[in-house]
Amino acid sequence: MAQDIIFCKTGGCGAKLGAGMLSRILGMLPQQEDEKLLVGFKGHDDAAVYKISEDTAIVSTLDFFPPMVEDPYTFGQIAAANALSDIYAMGGKPITALNIVCFPESMDMNILGRILQGGCDKVNEAGALLCGGHSISDSDIKYGLSVTGTIDPERVLRNNTCRPGDRLILSKPLGVGIINAAARAGAASKEQLDAAVEQMTKLNKYAAQILEGFEVHACTDVTGFGLLGHLKEMLGGEIGAEVEFKNIQTLPGVYELAADFMITGAGQKNRHFAGETVEFLTDDYAAEEVLFDPQTSGGLLAAAAPQDADRIISELKAQGHICSLVGTVTGGNRIRVR
Amino acid sequence: MIKVNAVGDQCPIPIVKTKEAIKQLGGSGVVETSVDNEIAVENLRKFAAHSGYGFESTQDGAVYTVTMTVGEAQEECAQCAPDCIEYGTVVVISSSEMGQGDEKLGKALMKGFIYAISKADSLPETVLFYNGGAFLTAEGSDSLEDIRAMAEEGVEILTCGTCINHYGLSAEPPVGSVTNMYTIAEKMTGAKKLIRP
């Protein structure tokens, strides 16, 4: 089957370029300033925010990647949930979406149809309108969306505005990259794959709605750079964090798969990116791999005021989110993991 | 020796193929794996290190060759120094003074105590600062340097947020993090050894 060959490559957010390399290149581009541009390149935020009037700003983002699952409809759903996620991570509401498609001309167009249907269904679930797109013929399949949302300019949730003492909350379990890697080696069970798909297709809309009611100082979504890579970006080199591995929820059997070296190249790139910032206080190789594991359509990582953290966790749990109290923002500029 | 061709394979396939070959060896021997990217070499290195296999790698153009030796006596890893944190030990500092009596003496004793625990061979897992203890993690404290030294060694430094507010101290102490009664109670009840000077 033709699609078997294409599906066996590294897909999802694991296909991202390494964060370290990207930072260097982006650092060389001129920084454009405009008072209406509330969020641009600086701070490596999830999406751009541009103020169009006193009470409205638009949030723009795009995301696309190669498949990480066999089923085209599921892949479409995951790609859309992942693209929409950046809007939620900024605290915005998606309004319109455009498809981005790379597809081999020689392949069965029904497969493309199923991918687009999956994407469209998720955009509808988000309450946004799918209103066009662009497609090119390519050797491999890639799909994603460009999404536009709106936001109150006073309520933009930056990723790098957390404060020491904040509690770090993650709204989805970790381990998607490890399960996908194990699947390529034929070592993941159906139960594990189903659990990973359930999380990847889940919109961050619902977790974002819960966060809205609380004092949240910063938010991002955890994708290709893994929990520690995204946390490093959140802290911006100026503050630190303490992370408790034992409190972090993972997909079933992920720790064991990591211990069995079902690990990705992207995870190793994330380790390089985190570099000296991360300090492991315990010797637990598998835990390190889980914390560096690239996530596709991962959860929201929020820095919440300490008095609100327990209530956020209990509301997320009440709505079926497999969430974790990851740790605490601290002084210093290291991420210390125990 | 078994040769494994993993050129063109993405992680974790090079490791999976190498593991398969090691299984085929059925004992000591050498497995030589070729890959086409450095990240795969690094992942194979981690695998070898954790499995206790000998590891060597060479590069020839775009192809890297990793040689793993199974059954070699492994040297003790130099980094595995004994962990100096004594997990389960919690120190509670509830006042800026140690003992009751003269204030000046009490403060000097507390400074000495914190210095002494920061220099001890085994450090506590957590030090809790509450009530008057909150002054010790605040800016201007005589013990700040010793507390910072412990934090750098991996000791968890927690200061009570209510106390910080009550005494009007900076909301962000210069060392460690701010905590609440829930965590303080959890740390104290969960401690294997609780030390109160």
C-beta separation of A234 from A167 below 8 A: no
| Closest-CA distance of chain B to residue A308, Å | 11
pLDDT score recorded for residue B75: 40
One domain, residues A180 and A329: yes
Interchain proximity B10–A336, CB inside 8 Å: no
Residues contacting A71, CB < 8 A, separation 6+: A114
One domain, residues B63 and B9: yes
Active-site residue flag, A219: no
Strand pairing category for A324-330 and A300-304: unpaired
One domain, residues A196 and A149: no
CATH for A42: 3.30.1330.10
One domain, residues B101 and B174: yes
**Residue A272: is it exposed, middle or buried by C-beta count within 10 angstroms (0-12/13-18/19+)?**
middle
From CA A16, how far away is CA A12, in angstroms rounded? 8
* Token couple for A23: 């930072």
The verdict on residue B29 lying in a domain is yes
Mutate to test the interface with B, among A289, A330, A333, A337 (most CBs of B within 10 A): A330
B25 pLDDT exceeds 80? Answer: yes
One domain, residues A34 and A81: yes
CATH for B17: 3.30.110.40
Residues contacting A64, CB < 8 A, separation 6+: A79, A83, A100, A102, A142, A143, A144, A145
Is the Cβ of B171 closer than 8 Å to some Cβ of chain A? yes
pLDDT score recorded for residue A28: 82
From CA B17, how far away is CA B7, in angstroms rounded? 11
pLDDT in tens, B65-111: 999 999 854 443 333 334 577 888 999 999 999 988 888 999 999 99
**Whole-number Cα distances in Å, A65 to A10, A70, B153:** 10, 14, 41
Q: Which residue of the set A8, A13, A162, A323 is catalytic?
A: A13
Determine the average pLDDT of the residues in B181-189: 89
One domain, residues A183 and A269: yes
Question: Of B38, B70, B102, which one is at a domain's C-terminal end?
Answer: B70
Report DSSP letters for A194-216, one per residue.
Answer: HHHHHHHTS-THHHHHHHHTS-E
pLDDT in tens, A125-174: 999 999 999 999 999 999 999 999 999 999 999 998 999 999 999 999 99
CATH for A240: 3.90.650.10
The verdict on residue B14 lying in a domain is yes
Is the Cβ of B40 closer than 8 Å to some Cβ of chain A? yes
Interchain proximity B10–A265, CB inside 8 Å: yes
One domain, residues B65 and B106: no
With a pLDDT cut of 70, the percent of chain A lying above it is 94
One domain, residues B21 and B100: no
One domain, residues B117 and B172: yes
Question: Of A155, A184, A209, which one is at a domain's C-terminal end?
Answer: A155
The verdict on residue B28 lying in a domain is yes
Hunting for tokens 């497969």 — which residue is that? Answer: A111
Domain that holds residue A302: 167-337
C-beta separation of B164 from B158 below 8 A: no
Hunting for tokens 């964060």 — which residue is that? Answer: A19
One domain, residues A226 and A129: no
pLDDT score recorded for residue A257: 96
Mutate to test the interface with B, among A242, A261, A285 (most CBs of B within 10 A): A261
One domain, residues B136 and B169: yes
Question: Of A102, A125, A155, which one is at a domain's C-terminal end?
Answer: A155
One domain, residues B143 and B54: no
From CA A78, how far away is CA B58, in angstroms rounded? 39
The verdict on residue A162 lying in a domain is no
Q: Which residues from chain A sit within 8 angstroms of residue B37, using beta carbons? A: 265
3-state secondary structure of A264: coil
One domain, residues A240 and A192: yes
pLDDT score recorded for residue A14: 65
The verdict on residue B80 lying in a domain is no
One domain, residues B46 and B108: no
* Token couple for B72: 């070699």
pLDDT score recorded for residue A10: 56
Nearest to A281 among B11, B46, B154 (CB): B154
Question: Of A155, A177, A201, which one is at a domain's C-terminal end?
Answer: A155
One domain, residues A150 and A177: no
Interchain proximity B176–A265, CB inside 8 Å: no
Q: How many domains does chain A have?
A: 2
pLDDT score recorded for residue A13: 63
CATH for B147: 3.40.1260.10
From CA A294, how far away is CA A287, in angstroms rounded? 14
* Token couple for B108: 């000097």
One domain, residues A177 and A314: yes
From CA B119, how far away is CA A319, in angstroms rounded? 48
Q: Which residues from chain A sit within 8 angstroms of residue B179, using beta carbons? A: 306
With a pLDDT cut of 70, the percent of chain B lying above it is 94
Q: How many domains does chain B have?
A: 2
The verdict on residue B76 lying in a domain is no
Q: Which residues from chain B sit within 8 angstroms of residue A279, using beta carbons? A: 154
One domain, residues B148 and B58: no
**CA B46 from centroid of its chain's CA atoms:** 19
Domain that holds residue B126: 85-195
C-beta separation of A182 from A192 below 8 A: yes
From CA A219, how far away is CA A47, in angstroms rounded? 12
Cα pseudo-dihedral A221, A222, A227, A232, rounded to 10: -50
Hunting for tokens 């890297």 — which residue is that? Answer: B64
Is the Cβ of B43 closer than 8 Å to some Cβ of chain A? yes
pLDDT averaged per 10 residues, chain A (length 338): 39 66 78 87 81 96 93 97 97 97 94 97 97 94 97 93 96 96 92 96 98 96 94 91 96 95 92 90 93 96 97 97 97 93
One domain, residues A119 and A245: no
One domain, residues B156 and B124: yes
One domain, residues B95 and B62: no
From CA A105, how far away is CA A121, in angstroms rounded? 24
pLDDT score recorded for residue A32: 78
Report DSSP letters for A28-50, one per residue.
Answer: HSPPP--TTEEE-TGGG-SSEEE
One domain, residues B121 and B175: yes
Question: Of B70, B93, B108, which one is at a domain's C-terminal end?
Answer: B70
Interchain proximity A261–B40, CB inside 8 Å: no
Interchain proximity B43–A263, CB inside 8 Å: yes
One domain, residues A219 and A311: yes
Nearest to A261 among B12, B80, B171 (CB): B12
Highest mean pLDDT among A211-215, B26-30, B148-152: A211-215
The verdict on residue B169 lying in a domain is yes
Nearest to A165 among B40, B151, B172 (CB): B172
One domain, residues A43 and A144: yes
pLDDT score recorded for residue A19: 64
Nearest to A164 among B16, B40, B177 (CB): B177
One domain, residues A232 and A315: yes
Which residue type occupies A117?
Q
From CA A154, how far away is CA A61, in angstroms rounded? 19
